A and B are shown apart, each in its own frame.
Chain A
């Protein structure tokens, strides 16, 4: 298990002893196909975890089980002390504690950037409109595009859309943020602006699980890497571990391909 932290600021948070995510033997089937074959891991509060693996290895499926966009078929998932099961009330609590950012942004195209952000706080948290808008503006400042508040997603660049999407997720004041290849759909010149926002988020002490192929980002921010292959979590460790002497042959092969 990772004991050292690679973050610069807020490093002590990464050393927190509280497990905010506990996965035990998590399995997921799509029909006859098993996408997750018993995933067991724990993630501590404030930890930054980067998930790696070849295409189809189950990375997306794994993080989507963490906010129950996919229901796991076996095993146990506990988020901040709440077990994920069929209980609707649990589901609501989990969803507002876990934010998610998608590869394709998935902004609501018929709403302005501001309304994209205020919708959930108003409807779920019952925040009055003024407060929700103040919060949204604060978050747009944070991701660096307050001037785009009244634009529709179709009028924004990919990088700007993804930053609005991050602000939208943060508006629910989540304790955990999930990122599924947040920069894969972006042109190279926009990748940095999104990664910068994620770096700042990491420094603020947020618990983050990030599926990404951006090894520079992983090296700089990750406390721990998880390597998936064919639905199995086959190796985990610090960045040093992965870059100096990965244990598994598969890992070595994969890293040699993407580096």
Chain B
């Protein structure tokens, strides 16, 4: 008989064993490990030294308007806060409703809040940012602790989903309507965020419809959608933005002033149409992955074509392609910066404008690193959100 004695090893010993078997299993691996560690250490050292010692972050604080709002008229600036507050409320509440914030997450949130305050809070802004933080925290606590019973949970979740759906229209109305800013004056990261949000919300349904069209049994529908998808994918986004700039005004009929729509709206339309084509191809892959038995079972219980598509096929197709979809949307988020070729000042453009001022010469590194940070934070948040979504939809469980 063999008896195996399980010895409780100390964590240090376990770590050493893990390192031995994973990092130093032979000479070649050991060398690779050392080189990699040296590289990581060097980059980290340079970054940390720059961020905390060499950099002068006042350039970001002084230029925060330019970076975040571009040429957005000053008299309407207060209008950006209600949407931000609604966003904070929804973000905090959703985190409490759908997720748990663990210690690492909490630490990351605290660090970001401190960073945001350090870099951006100034005068009245500080108080307004404070309101956002209080709203987010309050909503989180209320959602996490304050809801008694399943029914309350369900209601709160419905309210949150409705809130998210209303966020974009709310923001647009607050910013632009009732004598607000002209859309053509939108700029800075506000412009990137609005372009990306509008394009995501328009491109997703468009992509699904195009994918369904391409899979349709009607030849006309199939040919038209296929032609659309292949044409759009045949040229780079930059080319389509040029089309929006130079060609569209001549082609569009002069009714409703369509030919004189401002550049921001044209950019929104182009980004949506462009991303829609790519999403269509991703969704098409998802449609093909739905087992034929699903449609048969749905037919057998008497469901009609619309219900089969909308309730059985599309949800499963989307679920199967979440990673690819999110990756496409992240790429859209970064592509919004291409609108600078239309002469619009987005977040990156605003950053460049900031350092082209005489008194900020030589501070490009701070501003560009900051801009990169903003792009990264949003992209990373999208990627985390997609993981969360995948888990809650039970992808891979079948």
A and B from one complex: yes
A90 CB to closest chain B CB (Å) equals 12
Q: Which of B301, B307, B398 interacts with A168 by CB under 8 Å?
A: B301
Please tell me if B73 contacts chain A, counting CB pairs below 8 Å: no
Please tell me if A104 contacts chain B, counting CB pairs below 8 Å: yes
How far is A110 from B315 in the complex, measured between Cα atoms in Å? 8
Assess whether B307 is in contact with A123, with CB atoms less than 8 Å apart. Answer: yes
Q: Which of A67, A92, A104, A109 interacts with B300 by CB under 8 Å?
A: A67
Please tell me if B109 contacts chain A, counting CB pairs below 8 Å: no
Tell me the count of chain B residues lying within 8 A, CB to CB, of chain A.
22
Chain B residues with Cβ below 8 Å from A92 are 302, 304
A239 CB to closest chain B CB (Å) equals 28
How far is A119 from B304 in the complex, measured between Cα atoms in Å? 12
B129 CB to closest chain A CB (Å) equals 40
Contact flag A169-B393 (CB < 8 Å), given A108-B294, A123-B307, A153-B398:
no
Residue of B nearest to A120 (CB): B301
Assess whether A107 is in contact with B297, with CB atoms less than 8 Å apart. Answer: yes
Assess whether B301 is in contact with A152, with CB atoms less than 8 Å apart. Answer: no
Q: Which of B293, B303, B319 interacts with A120 by CB under 8 Å?
A: B303
Assess whether A102 is in contact with B296, with CB atoms less than 8 Å apart. Answer: yes
Please tell me if A106 contacts chain B, counting CB pairs below 8 Å: yes
Please tell me if A99 contacts chain B, counting CB pairs below 8 Å: yes
Mark A6-30 against chain B: 1 for CB-CB distance below 8 A, else 0.
0000000000000000000000000
Assess whether A123 is in contact with B303, with CB atoms less than 8 Å apart. Answer: yes
Please tell me if B343 contacts chain A, counting CB pairs below 8 Å: no
A62 CB to closest chain B CB (Å) equals 15
The listed residue with most A CB atoms (<10 A of its CB), out of B299, B301, B312, B319, is B301
Assess whether A99 is in contact with B312, with CB atoms less than 8 Å apart. Answer: no
Please tell me if A95 contacts chain B, counting CB pairs below 8 Å: yes
Residue of B nearest to A171 (CB): B301
Assess whether A120 is in contact with B302, with CB atoms less than 8 Å apart. Answer: yes
Mark A85-115 against chain B: 1 for CB-CB distance below 8 A, else 0.
0000000100110111010101111100000
Mark A188-213 against chain B: 1 for CB-CB distance below 8 A, else 0.
00000000000000000000000000
Q: Which of B293, B311, B315, B319 interacts with A123 by CB under 8 Å?
A: B311
Assess whether A95 is in contact with B316, with CB atoms less than 8 Å apart. Answer: no
Chain A residues with Cβ below 8 Å from B393 are 110
How far is A95 from B297 in the complex, measured between Cα atoms in Å? 11
Assess whether B303 is in contact with A69, with CB atoms less than 8 Å apart. Answer: no
Mark A41-79 against chain B: 1 for CB-CB distance below 8 A, else 0.
000000000000000000000000001010000000000
Assess whether B296 is in contact with A106, with CB atoms less than 8 Å apart. Answer: yes
How far is A152 from B396 in the complex, measured between Cα atoms in Å? 12
Residue of A nearest to B396 (CB): A154
How far is A56 from B315 in the complex, measured between Cα atoms in Å? 34
Residue of B nearest to A100 (CB): B300
Please tell me if B397 contacts chain A, counting CB pairs below 8 Å: yes
Assess whether A102 is in contact with B394, with CB atoms less than 8 Å apart. Answer: no
How far is A159 from B296 in the complex, measured between Cα atoms in Å? 20
Residue of B nearest to A178 (CB): B300
How far is A13 from B301 in the complex, measured between Cα atoms in Å? 25
Assess whether B300 is in contact with A99, with CB atoms less than 8 Å apart. Answer: yes
Assess whether A119 is in contact with B293, with CB atoms less than 8 Å apart. Answer: no
Mark B38-61 against chain A: 1 for CB-CB distance below 8 A, else 0.
000000000000000000000000
A-B contact pairs, 26 of them (CB 8 A): A69-B296, A95-B300, A95-B301, A96-B302, A99-B300, A99-B301, A102-B297, A106-B293, A106-B294, A108-B298, A108-B312, A108-B316, A110-B316, A110-B319, A110-B394, A119-B307, A119-B311, A120-B302, A123-B304, A124-B302, A124-B303, A154-B394, A169-B300, A171-B301, A172-B301, A172-B302
Other than A92-B304, A99-B301, A119-B311, give 5 A-B pairs with Cβ distance below 8 A.
Answer: A95-B300, A99-B300, A106-B293, A109-B398, A119-B307
